[in-house]
Amino acid sequence: MKDEAITRSWLANADAWTDIVRSDGIESRRLGTNAAVVSVIAGLAPDTLLDVGCGEGWLCRALSGRGVACTGIDASPRLLAAAREAGGGDFELIDYATLADGNAVSGPFDVIACNFALLGEDIVPLLAALRRRLSPRGRLVVHTVHPWQACGDGDYADGWRSESFAAFGAGRFKEAMPWFFRTLSRWVADLGEAGWVVESLREPPDPNTGRPLSLLVVAAPRAA
């Protein structure tokens, strides 16, 4: 039920999300998260990229400008339409369940990116399926909220939370979005269960406060 609510939120909020991303209206992105994920992916020197939960396609546009052949997938038709209109890659309407269950995208890909795109509780099947889409030198890049910052005044414990998007302006977003909060240890555990080994963790800092803006994980498939 929660996963269905996440999908409904992105369907309802597609236009608002496209507008706020393209108007550079999210402070954390301006302060460093956008540049951080582009830098990490570019540092892996990929020829091909799969952007899982690509939204309106900004990451594909950024990397295609560096010569990377990009494929973006998302479950929101309106977000995919916006991505296709702007260009920068091949964009396919695929939900996570389909991606986890079959061969919806063939690959292989040198980098698979999940950029603030793993919002559900049971992500292990998806993460396991993504391993099969990698090239021999491939890596997974997961970019997410920093657990120590995102927990706010709540308990530092795994569990469902809700994003109202109120910080982006009253009435701008039509529907709140549930999302599953993970501690750092839960991230490492889920990646390990799915067959990944964490190679590096990065914490892009807020240039004004020094506090982490986000968490960037680079993972490699565990050797057989």
Q: Over pLDDT 70: what percentage of the chain?
A: 100
pLDDT at 167: 86
Residue 104's pLDDT is what? 83
- Please state the domain count of the chain: 1
Average pLDDT over residues 66-72: 98
24-33, 139-148, 164-173, 205-214: range with lowest mean pLDDT: 164-173
E-assigned strand segments in 67-223: 69-74, 90-93, 109-115, 134-144, 159-163, 177-181, 196-202, 215-221
**For the chain, how big is the Rg over CA atoms in Å?**
16
CA-CA distance, 182 to 180, in Å (whole number)? 6
Q: pTM of the entire structure?
A: 0.96
The DSSP call for residue 29 is I
Q: What is the pLDDT of residues 153-178, one digit of tens each?
A: 889 999 999 999 988 876 789 999 99
pLDDT 10s digits, 97-149 = 999 987 788 889 999 999 999 999 999 999 999 999 999 999 999 999 999 99
Q: Residue 202 sits in a domain of what CATH number?
A: 3.40.50.150
Cα–Cα distance for residue pair 82/59, rounded to 1 Å:
13
Range of the domain at 83: 2-221
Interatomic CA distance for residues 74 and 16, integer angstroms: 16
pLDDT one-digit tens code per residue, 79-94: 999 999 999 999 999 9
How far is residue 139 from each of residues 12, 79, 82, 88, measured CA to CA in Å?
Answer: 32, 26, 27, 21
